[in-house]
Structure 1
Amino acid sequence: MSSEAVLTVRLVRSFEHRNFKPVVLRGVNLDQKVEDFIAFVKNDVSTRSGLPPPFKKFDYDTMKIIHQAHGAKTNELVMSLEDDEKLILRNGLDLRSCGIANETELAFFKMADYEKYKANPQTVW
């Protein structure tokens, strides 16, 4: 089984405004720890050309699996509000043991924003 994968990380700046940008990462080592991957993505995003500055400077701190290759997709526009205990990545585990495989799609967001939105899931137009 390959330890390198292509992952899509959806940078979520606002749940209410459905403000997100997908970033594709190639050659991701699935044996690295969650906290190392989060640090890698933060660094990649801060230096990536073509991303608007608000996305580069945002204080992301949590990742959650949105979709796995060949799995069912959610109807939620930004990400599902279900199964947090299963789908939110926990520090100390490696990506593979969190259920991440090639072509997994993840959301990267600020936990405080998510909890606020989850308590009152209203979108603003």
Structure 2
Amino acid sequence: MTAYAIAHLRPATVNGAILEYIERIQSTMDPYEGRFLVHGKEVEVLEGPFPGTLVVIGFPDMERARAWYASDAYRAILPLRTDHIPGEAVLVEGVPAGYDASETAASLRAAAGL
């Protein structure tokens, strides 16, 4: 099942460390088949405050997403970002093909006795 690394990064002043991080990140993702799905694009905010930008990286599965984040290569460059750009990062597993939200609602309804 596809997994995603998602980061909500706040506005920051571009500097040499940030540029080095951007220049080096792809080579840390390649061994884990990671690829950018969203990177450096302006977000269209529809609800609530959302300062900054969004980054989404896709991996074939959660195992490879976790292995990438824990890899020596990525850990070596991570401070180049975290020391200069505030934000949050998460890993999340995608839903399977054919996913139907109404089935999730039915399960939640039954569990809540509604």
Q: Higher helix proportion, which one?
A: 2
Q: Higher strand proportion, which one?
A: 1
Q: TM-score, normalised by structure 1?
A: 0.25
Q: TM-score, normalised by structure 2?
A: 0.27
The structure whose RCO (Cα within 8 Å, separation 6+) is larger is 2
Greater Cα radius of gyration, structure 1 or 2: 2
